[in-house]
């Protein structure tokens, strides 16, 4: 849809060294795809390093942040610190934050609120686990996750929703274009019913879960699929093909 610019995020997760990031940055700095917003999320420790080397056509995101601006929270980073070093985006509620670090919908909601108030744009992640899909409760799970996001958002222009079914993350088991489109369409309808038609039309909903250079074009055809959040393949040269999936 013309009013929703294609969006591709690269989530490097806990991967990379200065040397390997140099290779990724060199590759990304050749990108020339004005029809796509590109955002990469390196590990926190390398945010400043990447910002200083990457082309202005690629924006930089943190993979997480805390829900207050400063204080006695050992090991955490705040949105204020991120904006201070020039980071404009943050990924929140990634499935690994939810399921490895036990982050709850409540905590993710407060992080979304504080990050937005601090001037960051946010990529909140939602998605069902395999047992939830098999039990037929996918919609229930993702709508519940959406509710905690919605309750904490005023300005939807600064939000890109990432739908990442947990069973498809890092497994090589991508959702079929049909499965992804089905949930994206339902999420858009949920936004229309629970926020507004205008927000439903303009908010980008991106897909994540084993996206690669080979499957991205087919997935991008889904009318409600506005881009991708890419893990493993964002560390490889094929990330450039994914950025151009819709070009
Ligand atoms: O979690 C993801 C992006 O945030 C997806 O990871 P993979 O692309 O490695 O499956």
C-beta 128 within 6 A of ligand 1: no
Site of tokens 């082309």: 55
184 is catalytic: no
Ligand 1 atom 2: residue of nearest CA = 231
Instruction: State what percent of residues in the chain have pLDDT above 70.
Output: 99
Tokens of 238: 């094929």
For residues 115-143, one letter each, b for 16 or more C-beta atoms within 10 angstroms of the residue's C-beta and e for the rest, the string is: bbebebbbbbbbbbbeebbeeeebeebbb
C-beta 11 within 6 A of ligand 1: yes
pLDDT digits (tens, 9 = 90+) for 38-62: 999 999 999 999 999 999 999 999 9
Which of ligand 1's atoms lies nearest the C-alpha of 168? 10
User: Is residue 4 predicted with pLDDT exceeding 90?
Assistant: yes
pTM score over 0.95:
yes
Q: For the structural domain made of 6-23+37-244, what CATH number should be given?
A: 3.20.20.70
Q: What pLDDT score does 64 carry?
A: 98
Span from the CA of 137 to the centroid of ligand 1 (angstroms): 22
> How big is the chain, counted in residues?
247
Q: What pLDDT score does 63 carry?
A: 98
Q: What pLDDT score does 3 carry?
A: 81
Q: Catalytic: which of 96, 132, 164, 238?
A: 164
2-21: average pLDDT: 94
C-beta 94 within 6 A of ligand 1: yes
164 is catalytic: yes
Residue 121 CA to residue 158 CA, distance in Å, equals 5
Q: What pLDDT score does 2 carry?
A: 44
Of the pLDDT bands very low, low, confident and very high (cuts 50, 70, 90), residue 230 is very high
Residue 216, H or E segment: helix 216-220
Counting ligand 1 atoms within 8 A of each CB, the residue from 164, 168, 180, 235 with the most, and so the one to mutate, is 164
181-187: average pLDDT: 98
Residue 239 CA to residue 227 CA, distance in Å, equals 12
Residue 232 CA to residue 43 CA, distance in Å, equals 14
């Amino acid at each position: 849809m013309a009013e929703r610019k294609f969006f591709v995020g690269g989530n490097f997760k806990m991967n990379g060294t200065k040397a390997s990031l140099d290779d990724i940055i060199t590759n990304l700095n050749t990108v020339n795809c004005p029809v796509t917003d590109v955002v990469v999320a390196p590990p926190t420790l390398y945010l400043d390093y990447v910002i200083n080397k990457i082309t202005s056509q690629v924006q930089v995101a943190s993979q997480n942040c805390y829900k207050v601006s400063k204080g006695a929270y050992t090991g955490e980073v705040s949105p204020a610190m991120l904006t201070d070093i020039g980071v404009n985006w943050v990924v929140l509620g990634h499935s690994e934050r939810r399921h490895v670090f036990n982050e709850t919908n409540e905590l993710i909601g407060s992080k979304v609120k504080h990050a937005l108030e601090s001037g960051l744009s946010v990529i909140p992640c939602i998605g069902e686990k395999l047992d939830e899909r098999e039990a037929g409760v996918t919609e229930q799970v993702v709508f519940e996750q959406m509710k905690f996001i919605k309750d904490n958002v005023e300005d939807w222009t600064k939000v890109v929703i990432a739908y990442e079914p947990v069973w498809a993350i890092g497994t090589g088991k991508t959702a079929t274009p049909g499965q992804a489109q089905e949930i994206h369409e339902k999420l858009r309808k949920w936004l229309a019913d629970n926020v507004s038609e205008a927000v439903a039309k303009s908010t980008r909903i991106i897909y994540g879960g084993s996206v690669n250079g080979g499957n991205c074009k087919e997935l991008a055809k889904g009318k409600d699929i506005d881009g991708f959040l890419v893990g493993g393949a964002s560390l490889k040269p094929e990330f450039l093909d994914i950025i151009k999936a819709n070009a």
